[in-house]
Amino acid sequence: MPRSCSLPLLLAGAALVAASPALAHPHVWITTRAELDYGPDGALRAVRHAWTFDPTYSAFAVQGLGQSTTGPVNPAALAALARDNAENLAEQGYFTQLKVDGRKQDVGPATDPAMTFTDGQLTLRFTLPLKAPVAGTASLEVFDPTYFVAFSLADGDGFATLKGAPAGCRATAHRPKSAAPVPAATGMSEAFFEAMTAASTYGVQFANRIVVAC
Amino acid sequence: MLSTLSLNPPSRGLQRLVLAALAILAACAVLAALLGLLAPGFRAPPRSPFGIGFREAAPTGATSLGAWLLAMQAGFSQALQAAVSAVKAGRDGTLTLIGLGFAYGVLHAAGPGHGKAVIAGYLMAGERALKRGFTLSLLAALLQAVVALALVGGGAVLLRLTAAGLNQAGTVIETAGFACVALLGAAVTWRKAGQLARLLNREAGPACGPDCGHAGLADGTRVERLTTLREQAGVVLAAGTRPCAGAVLVLVFALSQGILWAGVAATLAMALGTAITTGLLTALAVFAKALALRLAGGRGQGGAIAVGVLELWAAAFVLVLGAGLLSGWAAAAF
């Protein structure tokens, strides 16, 4: 029965359609700023992250932490949330990949977690100490391989600050080409339409990288 | 199940079990192949610390179509947020918000989702009516919206749960939904295995005229119809229990802005959009089934058995998918 061969084909086709390609997309947008902390010997010893969440996720995260749905948020609850987040982030390696002179660096558990909520946006801060401080050209990438969280570097020069770095060290941002900036929370912006046309470069999200050369 | 076994000759019951087991094995193989294709590594991603209580499917990497959908959806999420703010600010954003919600639903449903797999699998296994398929898609999408509304309305507004509390509630709801998928798959697999066993036995037995085996048909049809209704309720539950993260987020955001109604409007619009996309997939499944029936038509017993095998396999696929989701095995792709 040559024609019955189309049945398995049909099956396979139906299965493929049913299990339509798995595509996650971000539900959380984070703007990152990093402070690279150098020791007196010129070795990089810690990275302090400051992650600002988009207003929608911020609203979700502080849900129930204030007196009313629109009221101010309890600082003690924010501190607890910061601790929880810092702990849970360990499982994901803090979404952080740090290399010095091309070698991957291990970072210890996060310290000094803190959280602030201003103008409807949440900012999480925590420090990642390097297990072994090391000098050299540092490359810092922050990304979520599962795409649930979309990270992007803060605009302008805000993406990185150097603390106690040897003279002559400079941080440069390598941003994805034509990545759409997060639209301002007010009104429909051009960025929305840009995001649609710039779509094919979305995967270059991974190219968010800070390089500090000394 | 036990009574069925004891009422039938033992060989029939055994045959039914063996058929079901074979179908489950075949479904496992296909699901494993799919996972290998879609999510190599078979590992469910760890739950994001910034997650909202239920998993969203994992990526396959940034293929061009995938990247396009990703960026579209990302653009929509942000535009939704902007539209809620516009409504809050008193600018006329309500229509924009509803339109965006609708479009978000259409696109979101084009992404991952076990719900579509459940509906398509069920339709392949049994149904062939397009209208019934559309109704199932619409009801599942509406249930999804209602669950999101209940989660935020009950959890956030009434109980004043924190994000962590909402996460826990979300996890419970998700698990219940996966259990529904597995139960539905088990029920349909068992029924289809019985049908196939009867078909196979008839083939071995004496030739059957148009009237044979029709005794007690009226009663049988009523039982069948009841079973089908129960199964369809199961399909809606299985496909629609897990709420969409986008809906939950827009609801909580609207709530924080003091305009929950705007979030409700957006969520309902999303459900309609979702129903359109799942409806399209439904149509595909129904046409595929019709094609299978036409190919099998005129082939007598052999054709009927081929269709029976297809149906049993599709049912087993739903069962394996449910078990995979419950155990986290299939979570890598759905």
Each domain of chain B, given as residue ranges in start order, spans 65-201+221-327
Chain B interface test: which of A11, A16, A25, A189 (most B C-beta within 10 Å) = A25
Q: Which candidate from A3, A20, A64 shows the least CB-CB separation from B165?
A: A64
Q: Which residues pair with A33 in a beta bridge?
A: A50
- Whether the per-residue pLDDT at A21 is higher than 50: the answer is no
Query: In chain B, what percentage of residues exceed pLDDT 70?
Result: 77
A64, B163: Cβ pair inside 8 Å? yes
pLDDT average, residue stretch B28-53: 70
Burial of A28 (0-12, 13-18, 19+ CB in 10 A): buried
Chain A interface disruption, residue of B108, B256, B287, most A CBs within 10 A: B256
Read off the pLDDT of residues A166-210 as tens digits, 9 standing for 90 and up. Answer: 988 999 998 876 444 444 433 444 444 444 443 333 444 456 889
| Mean pLDDT score of chain A | 78
Taking residues A120-125, what's their average pLDDT? 94
Q: What is the pLDDT of residues B106-124, one digit of tens each?
A: 877 776 677 888 888 888 8
Q: DSSP states of B133-189 as a string?
A: HHHHHHHHHHHHHHHHHHIIIIIIIIS---HHHHHHHHHHHHHHHHHHHHHHHHHHH
Residue of chain A minimizing CA distance to B89: A186
pLDDT at A13 > cutoff 60 = no
Instruction: Kindly state the helix (H) or strand (E) to which residue B18 belongs, with its residue range.
Output: helix B10-38
Which range (B6-15, B52-61, B316-325) has the least confidence? B52-61
Domain count for chain A: 1
* Other CB atoms within 10 Å distance of the CB of residue A96: 20
Residue B204 has a pLDDT of: 52
Q: What does the mean pLDDT of chain B come to?
A: 80
Q: Are B81 and A56 in contact (CB under 8 A)?
A: yes
Integer CA distances (angstroms), B165 to A81, B47, B143, in order? 13, 16, 21
Name which of A44-58, B32-46, B78-92, B218-232 the model is least confident about. Answer: B32-46
On chain B, the residues whose CB falls within 8 A of the CB of A126 are none
> What is the model's pLDDT at position A189?
45
| Structural domain includes residue A14 | no
DSSP-derived 3-state class of residue B99: helix
Contact between B117 and A185 using a beta-carbon 8 Å cutoff: no
**The dihedral of CA B73, A56, B176, B235: what is its sign?**
negative
The CA distance from B90 to B258, in Å, is 12
Beta strands in A39-174 (DSSP E): 44-53, 96-100, 103-104, 111-118, 121-134, 138-142, 149-153, 160-163, 170-174
Does the pLDDT at position B57 exceed 70? Answer: no
Residue A212 pLDDT level (bands cut at 50, 70, 90):
very high
Q: Is B219 exposed, middle or buried, given 0-12, 13-18 or 19+ CB atoms closer than 10 A? A: exposed
Interstrand relation of A138-142 and A209-213 (parallel, antiparallel or unpaired): antiparallel
Test A63 with B113 for CB contact under 8 angstroms: no
Q: Are A120 and B84 in contact (CB under 8 A)?
A: no
3-class SS of residue A5: helix
Q: Which two tokens stand for residue B245?
A: 């993260």
B30, B48, B59 member nearest A23 (Cβ): B59
Q: Are B205 and B140 in contact (CB under 8 A)?
A: no
pLDDT at B20: 92
pLDDT digits (tens, 9 = 90+) for B183-215: 999 999 999 999 899 888 875 544 444 444 444
pLDDT, residue B164, reads 84
* Residue A164 pLDDT greater than 80, yes or no: yes
Instruction: Give percent of chain A above pLDDT 90.
Output: 45
Q: Which residues form the domain of A169?
A: 28-213
Rounded alpha-carbon distances, angstroms, from residue A199 to A28, A111, A116, B73, B273:
18, 37, 32, 10, 21
Question: Nearest Cα to B271, choosing from B77, B82, B87, B108?
Answer: B108
Helix then strand count (H, E) for chain A reads 4, 11
**Count of residues making up chain B:** 334
Interface mutation vs chain B, best among A54, A63, A144, A208, most B CBs within 10 Å: A63
Query: Does A57 sit within 8 Å of B249, measured CB to CB?
Result: yes
- Cα–Cα distance, A45 to B251 (Å, whole number): 42
Nearest 5°: phi and psi at A90? -55, -40
> Is the pLDDT assigned to residue B150 strictly greater than 90?
yes
Q: Which residue in A has a C-alpha nearest to residue B83's C-alpha? A: A187
Please name the amino acid found at residue B224.
Answer: E
Three-class SS state of B49: coil
Q: Is the ipTM of this complex over 0.90?
A: no
A·B CB contacts under 8 A: 259
CB atoms within 10 A of CB B60: 17
Contact indicator for A198, B93 with CB cutoff of 8 Å = no
- Is there a domain that residue A45 lies in? yes
Do the bridges between strand A103-104 and strand A96-100 make them parallel or antiparallel, or are there none, so unpaired?
A: antiparallel
Q: Which two tokens stand for residue A97?
A: 């990949």
pLDDT at B68: 67
B57 near B111, Cβ under 8 Å?
A: yes
Beta bridge partners of A138: A100, A212
Q: Residue A143, CB half-sphere, CA atoms under 13 Å: how many?
A: 16
Q: Which amino acid is at A118?
A: T
- pLDDT at position B43, please? 56
DSSP letter assigned to residue B333: T
Q: Which H/E stretch holds residue A38?
A: strand A28-38
How does pLDDT run across B269-326, given as a tens digit for each residue? 999 999 999 998 888 888 888 888 888 877 778 888 888 998 999 999 999 989 988 8
Helix (H) or strand (E) holding B27: helix B10-38
Structure confidence at residue B70 (pLDDT)? 64
User: In A181-213, which positions are buried (b, 16+ CB within 10 angstroms) versus exposed (e)?
Assistant: ebbebebbbebbebbbebbebbbbbeebbbbbe
- Does residue A3 fall inside a structural domain? no
Sort out which chain A residues have CB atoms less than 8 A from B250's CB and list them: 56
